[in-house]
């Protein structure tokens, strides 16, 4: 997932052409393009050559992030502004209080959700933008430079307003048949602003009405996007994408049980280095020759695939039905996307899987734990089961008819504890997945494979002609099976 959030510029120096500010706060809830978000300490990875943009527009670079440092409250960054007209304007705007916010774009890699707030454990910084309005309530400009010739001056701390100036662009009227397809998807941006809460279908209805020339719909869509939609065509406000993402993420148990990573930005395949032969160390006699095994490294080629589905809607259905029809279309397309991508990841993830087994579940799973540990030198931590195997584990009993895994009363059985929502079987986290084959049961460490994805499900709305509209959900994914024999297909005799 891609999110964008704003903090404050704390200092701007026109002589050195630098701007300082907080890149990310730790432990503080802020308004972002995905709703309320809290970053845990150490959760943001910052690479090299991070560009500084204006209003998230990749066509308007004004500098680079040259250094950053972490403290208990967050990460502070220093941005070097280029000696261009646009760069000089940025420094003057910061001095005058017209551009007092730093908006950061990041790809979420690992997260949890608690009470509607996204808790980020791992994310990667994509870009830094200078914006007019920061999203965090305590955003302030504390030090600015009036001009390139004046010394840096300190001014009183003034709280930044959270009400951006409303700008509505003129939209040329064109025939519906000539409207180009608009793509809505990750990344997503919004400015702090009060807008009506819309479902996915209702927003799609607004967008289609705007494409057909409805002035009120054009005004709404322009205001919803603010400067980001003006500069980056095809971006979606929070209610739209959060609904789609919520459906997708809730039904992919196998994908959620392994590593999740962002897909590279280009190419239909990529490569990962793989160690084939490891160097060795052995006991060596005095003046003896040390162990000398050369390390050999090859690479694993990972293919990128696309999953997509669409639904063509007649103008009669669009005009004469409630917008909730579009909600249902998107929910069902997103659900199918989730199921099919989960099945794809599982199918690719069991290629080359090892075989383990034994008499009864305890012996069979114990054999799988031992076999898997020998591959990566670490114990597995997941037990994946289909519907039939899940039912069999629930019903498994000892010779006296006592359940082996389903806890009875307050006593936890030694072999494990299973409830309807979660469970542990012989120390392995139980993963129920109804998208895979019903009889499958496998044990594996969560990092034996990695699932790559470009955001989550993205949505495309096309005007085919004056009588037909096309709604589609799609996404690009890849599965890297790094240690194939670490996942063990279990046979229970």
Query: Of 319, 373, 330, 343, whose CA–CA distance to 487 is shortest?
Result: 373
Greatest mean pLDDT among 69-78, 127-136, 321-330 lies in 69-78
Q: Which two tokens stand for residue 400?
A: 């006296």
Q: How far apart are CA 84 and CA 17, in angstroms?
A: 11
Whether the predicted pLDDT of 283 surpasses 50: yes
**Which residue has better confidence, 288 or 232?**
288
Q: Each residue of 163-187: pLDDT tens digit? A: 333 332 333 333 333 333 333 333 3
Q: Each residue of 400-459: pLDDT tens digit? A: 877 877 755 445 566 666 655 567 888 899 999 999 999 999 999 999 999 999 866 677
At 241, the pLDDT band (50, 70, 90 cuts) reads very low
Q: Which pLDDT score is estimated for 459?
A: 72
Cα 166 to its chain centre, rounded Å, is 30
Q: How far apart are CA 463 and CA 471, in angstroms?
A: 9
Average pLDDT over residues 278-289: 92
**Which residue has better confidence, 348 or 90?**
348
For the question of whether the overall pTM of this predicted structure is more than 0.75, the answer is no
**Which residue has better confidence, 340 or 30?**
340
Cβ partners under 8 Å of residue 342, min gap 6: 251, 252, 253, 254, 255, 433, 435, 436
Name beta bridge partners: 434. none
Asked if 178 and 466 count as a contact pair (C-beta separation under 8 A), the reply is no
Whether the predicted pLDDT of 151 surpasses 60: no
**Which residue has better confidence, 80 or 32?**
80
Q: Each residue of 338-351: pLDDT tens digit? A: 899 999 999 999 99
**Which residue has better confidence, 416 or 146?**
416
Q: Which pLDDT score is estimated for 145?
A: 36
Q: Which pLDDT score is estimated for 255?
A: 93
Could you count the other beta carbons within 10 Å of the beta carbon of residue 421?
A: 6
Whether the predicted pLDDT of 118 surpasses 80: yes
Whether the predicted pLDDT of 28 surpasses 60: yes
Average pLDDT over residues 228-250: 38
**Which residue has better confidence, 409 or 255?**
255
């Amino acid at each position: 997932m891609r999110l964008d959030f704003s903090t404050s510029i704390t200092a701007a120096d026109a002589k050195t052409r630098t701007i300082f500010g907080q890149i990310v706060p730790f432990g503080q809830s802020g308004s972002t393009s995905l709703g309320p978000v809290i970053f845990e300490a150490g959760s943001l990875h910052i690479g090299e050559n991070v560009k500084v943009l204006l209003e998230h527009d990749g066509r308007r670079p004004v500098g680079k992030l040259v250094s950053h440092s972490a403290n208990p409250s967050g990460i502070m960054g220093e941005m070097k502004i280029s000696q261009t007209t646009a760069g000089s304007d940025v420094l003057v705007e910061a001095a005058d209080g017209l551009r007092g916010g730093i908006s950061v774009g990041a790809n979420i890699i690992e997260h949890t959700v608690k009470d509607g707030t996204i808790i980020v454990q791992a994310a990667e910084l994509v870009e830094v933008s200078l914006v007019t309005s920061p999203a965090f309530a305590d955003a302030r400009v504390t030090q600015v430079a009036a001009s390139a010739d004046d010394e840096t001056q300190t001014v009183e701390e003034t709280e930044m307003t959270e009400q951006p100036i409303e700008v509505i662009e003129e939209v040329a009227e064109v025939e519906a048949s000539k409207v180009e397809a608009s793509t809505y998807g990750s990344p997503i941006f919004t400015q702090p602003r009060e807008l009506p809460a819309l479902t996915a279908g209702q927003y799609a209805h607004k967008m289609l009405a705007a494409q057909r020339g409805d002035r009120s719909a054009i005004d709404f869509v322009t205001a919803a996007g603010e400067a980001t939609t003006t500069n980056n065509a095809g971006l979606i406000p929070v209610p739209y994408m959060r609904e789609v993402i919520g459906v997708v993420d809730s039904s992919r148990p196998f994908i959620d049980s392994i590593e999740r990573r962002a897909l590279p930005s280009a190419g239909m395949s990529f490569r990962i280095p793989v160690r084939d032969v490891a160097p060795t160390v052995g006991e060596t006699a005095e003046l003896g020759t040390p162990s000398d095994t050369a390390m050999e490294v090859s690479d694993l080629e990972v293919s990128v695939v696309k999953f997509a589905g669409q639904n063509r809607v007649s103008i009669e259905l669009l005009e004469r039905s409630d917008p909730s029809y579009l909600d249902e279309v998107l929910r069902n397309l997103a659900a199918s996307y989730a199921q099919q991508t989960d099945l794809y990841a599982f199918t690719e993830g069991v290629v080359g899987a090892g075989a383990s087994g034994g008499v009864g579940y305890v012996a069979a799973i114990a054999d799988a734990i031992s076999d898997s540990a020998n591959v990566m030198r670490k114990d597995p931590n997941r037990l994946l089961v289909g519907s039939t195997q899940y039912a069999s584990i629930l019903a498994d009993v000892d010779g006296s008819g006592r359940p082996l895994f389903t806890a009875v009363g307050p006593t936890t059985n030694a072999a494990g504890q299973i409830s309807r929502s979660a469970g542990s079987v012989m120390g392995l986290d139980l993963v129920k997945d109804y998208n895979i084959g019903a009889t499958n049961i496998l044990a594996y460490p969560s990092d034996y494979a990695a699932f790559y994805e470009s955001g989550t499900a993205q949505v495309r709305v096309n005007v085919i002609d004056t009588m037909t509209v096309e709604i589609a959900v799609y996404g690009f994914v890849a599965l890297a099976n790094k240690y194939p024999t670490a996942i063990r297909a279990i046979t229970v005799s």
